[in-house]
Structure 1
Amino acid sequence: MALTRILEPGDERAGRWLRETGPVELVRRLTTADGSAEQLPGMTAVRLGGYRLRAAAAAEPERDLAAVAAVGGRFVCPGDREWPTQLDDLGDARPIGLWVRGRSDLRLWALRSVAVVGARACTPYGAHMAAHLGSGLAERGWVVVSGAAFGVDGSAHRGALAVGGATMAVLACGVDVTYPRGHAELIGRMAEQGLIMSELPPGDHPTRSRFILRNRVIAALTRGTVVVEAEYRSGSLVTARSAQRLGRFTIGVPGPATSGLSAGVHELLRGEGVLVTDASEVAELVGDIGDLAPARRGPVLPRDLLDAVTARVLEALPYRGAVDGREVARTAGITADEALGRLYELHSLGFVEREGDGWRLTPRPTCNGDARRGGT
């Protein structure tokens, strides 16, 4: 707990020190003046001064524990039963620990989770797709993970909550800090119905760098990252690239080719990203054997149900006018008797009609008043 006050999230050098010395010894070296801190690889006087300035404010981690307990939270660190071990894939950049609010088990929820991220200033299309994915994934038993920001993040969380599903938010501030303020109600609902977590101790405020570093946690925690809308320089692409490096699925929802908000997603899809259009396709990609999306096909037309020979007879009739049965037989490549039998079959089905001694297609009105071929 003390180290979350002293070290910034994602500090790989400090992560190495923590791995080599353990948390108790690292705190001792950073808070005492016996010269042991200078022996840490990569430590400089300037860096040590910064750490010790922070350490002075971290002398009572019990206060942070009391503060998070007051809002129904707890602290989870590596080695705890609730720790999501997939975060260990981050190596020395893994979180020191996580401050968590919510009653559910973090490790169990993270085992079947998907990240849905995207632009803050998203379009109505982006908001709709995020909510649609959030609700669809939640209905299929997946936990929807995002960052509780405006735009795509908030829509994904709301989509999951709307169907009574599970959702988690990874914050770039303390779990007792409501940010953004406009999402106070949403964050409160997630604290009650889902989980919210952060690497930062209670009371800490967000910064630009913390938002970027937070994204690696979202990527590592989940089986895959879905990007709904993102510009070329979007932080959501940072999450997607982190997912790629970690061997997670990287997924994108396409948008209009003329939309700058979809430009980053399309660039992702040109690389290793996989295109999806709904929750079933996401579940098929990140899920287990048997989690298959439904087969995609156009509507079945009446003429699709005809056998091959009957369909060939129908095709032998001209677009306009009538022809006799022998002409139909010659065009279809069958005998006159067989052609006649097929024509009567098509007549009973309403595809053709008699006109004197000939046969013609049954006129079918369209929006412009033209007659079209039967069944088309």
Structure 2
Amino acid sequence: MRSKSIAVIIVAAGKGERAGAGGATDPKQYRLVAGQPVLSRTIAAFLSLPAITHVVPVIHADHAERYSALGLADARLMPAVHGGATRQSSVLEGLKALGPLRPDRVLIHDAARPFASLELITRVTTALDQHDGALPTLPVTDTIKRSLDGDLVATTEDRRQLFAAQTPQGFRFGQIFSAHMRAGTVRREFTDDAEIAEWAGLRVAMVEGERNNIKITHPEDFIRAERIVMADTGFETRIGTGYDVHPFAPGDAVWLCGVKIPHSAKLHGHSDADVALHALTDAILGAIGEGDIGVHFPPSDNQWKGAASTIFLRHAGTLVAARGGRIVNLDVTIVAEAPRIATHAPAMCAVIAETLGISASRVAVKATTNEKLGFIGREEGIVAMASASVELPRVD
């Protein structure tokens, strides 16, 4: 008897706006958790199970470039399809994409749940041997109150009969496809696929869920997600420092932390001479033991002449992510008599955060003078110092 084919729909078509915080602009499914995008983690969880035959991501039409940048490659990974205005319509688009393949079973999973374990997925698929559908649930432990007006308590629910639903939710493909097609013709919005199955008269079983199978919804969920990864892999903290100095040359502006500041001179250097980003890049490279900026971008190479130093910083951040690490915090101090830096600090933090794909709350930029002492006091140049705290998987 042939084995059952199992396809997976990853629902990633939302904009993830509730999860934004600290200047983060990327949708939650593309933001990093311990150096890896949420969506990449979610898809990888299913591709690690040999029984999965096809995976179809359903993405927002505006996110095609973001998805492509993930660089995901697997023979079972189908081309992404564009979702609809609601989760329900997005799932239907995924089901339509699988229609020509007619898999025996389908799992429908939220992209924002990156920690579904193999054991959890297997519990759901196994339950489909006896039932039309299955979903993981957790018993509700809080006392639940019902209110008719949001002000006064009307009644207390019996929590022994209440369970919190998770994904993946599994179904026999033909049945859930038919149920979704019918549900799309009624004036009603269903909260999840299990509700559509119930409405269609299918028998849906509950299997044991997992506490770590969290759905990233709010900014604080990213903190919990980082802790889950750290507990699974074991991380260690690395500290790096950077120092750079550049002299002034004739010009009308200086580049500092990716921000162009009008001045009576410019900084002299092979690239844009952004002394602050050079120090910061060295700090990150030092934290991961990757030498200094000159090793990766030698000044003898003319392709870097006049280059934006954000290129160097982004490269350092990419190296951290490639090791499965994450940047915890960055601290930059600029020492200059002029120009004045303080009013530009928020913009500088924003540039650094955007370049590295981290929250601006993890970046500090400070400025001070040298009290008219030395070459800085004589306004001959600018010095920058930086430190970087990075977490990497522990290697013993």
TM class by smaller structure: under 0.3
Which structure shows the higher helix fraction?
A: 1
Q: TM-score, normalised by structure 1?
A: 0.22
Higher-Rg member (1/2): 1
Which structure shows the higher strand fraction?
A: 2
